[in-house]
Amino acid sequence: MAYQLYRNTTLGNSLQESLDELIQTQQITPQLALQVLLQFDKAINTALANRVRNRVNFKGSLNTYRFCDNVWTFVLNDVEFREVTDLVKVDKVKIVACDGKSSDYFSHSSLIIRPRLFLTQ
Amino acid sequence: MEQNNSLPPFQGLASPQGAMTPGMPIFSPMMPYGSGLTPQPVTNTNSLSLLEEQQRQQQQQASSQQAGVPGGLGQTPQLYHSQTVTTTTLPGNTPLYTATPLTPMTPITPATPASESSGIVPQLQNIVSTVNLGCKLDLKTIALRARNAEYNPKRFAAVIMRIREPRTTALIFSSGKMVCTGAKSEEQSRLAARKYARVVQKLGFPAKFLDFKIQNMVGSCDVKFPIRLEGLVLTHQQFSSYEPELFPGLIYRMIKPRIVLLIFVSGKVVLTGAKVRGEIYEAFENIYPILKGFRKTT
């Protein structure tokens, strides 16, 4: 079972809104919508793991941090995201990071932790 | 050893007295100078300071025999009187006057001559304290709702929380007990612990502030000269442990006060194990003359 982390993203939210509309108009069942979301989770996780190669550096000041249930949550201020090509500056960024190697429902601890970051503004 | 320098004023006065112990110079290295258990620094040969120390010890006795000490000359005969008494008593008998540097002292205090203080004050670097919040806590709630908290129950059964002012870290346990580390003073440690207690209280727990206690204090300072650690471990082997292959510092376990000092070749000293600030200061004042005796001269 993949992380449901990516549902609260622009892409994930758009999907959820569309599914809600379809449910409203009785075109699909809520059960089907749930299956769609689960498939979305799997797809987005594998896509990010296998099809994304670029690297972004970021630097900022740490406002708060939290570690609970193996999930790190950071809030940074005055952050600069640098990619080879360009630079983006932001006042506030919240980072939610889950453990890279092990999944939600597997409780064994992983040897290497490569957190996959998903950034929300 | 510097002890062999004779003291003209004493000897000048000794001759008419005739009360001096025959054949036994006052500052002979053969004297039962602490039975090897007391860390003793090299004697201060400042005759005046020794005289003052003798007087101080005599005054501490506050014995009636010493009533009405006249100034100046009158003191010297008394000094000789006490010395005669102490050198003729057997070790183990309580001498009439307090133990002078010439008698076996209780082997717990490194004796210091009456020299002026070092002028160096150790700076406190870390204070560890504990407090009982007096109620059971739900660590997961605290970790989820408080800021700057870590909770990984698989690794450690406490929430690790940090605050910026005073810059400290707290370990908060589900029993309601808390450890606060990193403060630079006793007041700051107490203030930080109160701040953590307030965080927990604001999350809805009936937190109290019971039995706040400072458990450990760490201080450090610099004597500003290099030290011969090998020499120190040879003479103070009951207190020192020095394994340069293991750790570059000499570990000196002082008995009174019960403080552990890490002494480095550079002259830097770390003092730890104190429950009160005074113990750090006292330990440093005790070790400083000893370290001066092992100053590197090259």
Q: What is the pLDDT of residue B115?
A: 64
Q: What is the pLDDT of residue B2?
A: 45
| Residue A74 burial (CB count, 10 A) | 17
Q: Searching chain B, which residue's CA lies closest to the CA of residue A74?
A: B148
| Residue A38 burial (CB count, 10 A) | 13
Contact (CB, 8 A) for B205 and B149: no
Helices A10-24, A30-50: crossing angle, 10 deg rounding:
160
Return the ∠ at Cα B13 (arms to B9 and B15), rounded to 5°. Answer: 125
Rounded mean pLDDT of chain A? 85
Inter-chain contacts counted by CB atoms under 8 A, chains A and B: 24
Rounded mean pLDDT of chain B? 77
Q: What is the mean pLDDT of residues B239-247?
A: 96
Cβ contact, residue pair A64, B148, below 8 Å: yes
Whole-model pTM: value is: 0.66
pLDDT at B139 over 50: yes
Identify the band that residue B59 occupies on the pLDDT scale cut at 50, 70 and 90: low
Out of A64, A68, A109, the one facing B151 most closely (by C-beta) is A68
The arrangement of secondary structure in A5-51, i.e. its CATH architecture, is: Orthogonal Bundle (1.10)
Identify the band that residue B298 occupies on the pLDDT scale cut at 50, 70 and 90: confident
pLDDT tens, position by position, B224-233: 999 999 999 9
Please report, for chain A, the start and end positions of each structural domain, with discontinuous segments joined by +. 5-51, 57-120
State how far Cα B6 lies from the chain centre.
31
Distance from first CA to last CA of chain B, Å, rounded? 19
Out of B144, B148, B154, the one facing A65 most closely (by C-beta) is B148
Cβ contact, residue pair B152, A66, below 8 Å: no
Kindly state the tokens that stand for A86.
Answer: 């360009």
Q: What is the pLDDT of residue B56?
A: 54
Q: What is the pLDDT of residue A107?
A: 33
- A57-120 shares the fold of A5-51: no
Q: What is the pLDDT of residue B269?
A: 97
B2 touches chain A (CB under 8 A): no
Residues 1-60 of A with CB under 8 A from B: none
Contact (CB, 8 A) for B116 and B166: no
Q: Is the dihedral of CA B161, B162, B165, B168 positive or negative?
A: positive
pLDDT tens, position by position, B48-57: 544 555 555 5
Q: What is the mean pLDDT of residues A63-85?
A: 95
pLDDT at A87 over 60: yes
pLDDT at B68 over 90: no
Q: What is the mean pLDDT of residues B149-155?
A: 95
Q: What is the pLDDT of residue B117?
A: 77
**Domain A57-120: which topology?**
TATA box binding Protein, subunit D; domain 2 (2.30.18)
Among the residue ranges A107-111, B34-38, B99-103, B272-276, the one predicted with the least confidence is: A107-111
In this predicted model, which residue has the larger pLDDT, B61 or A92?
A92
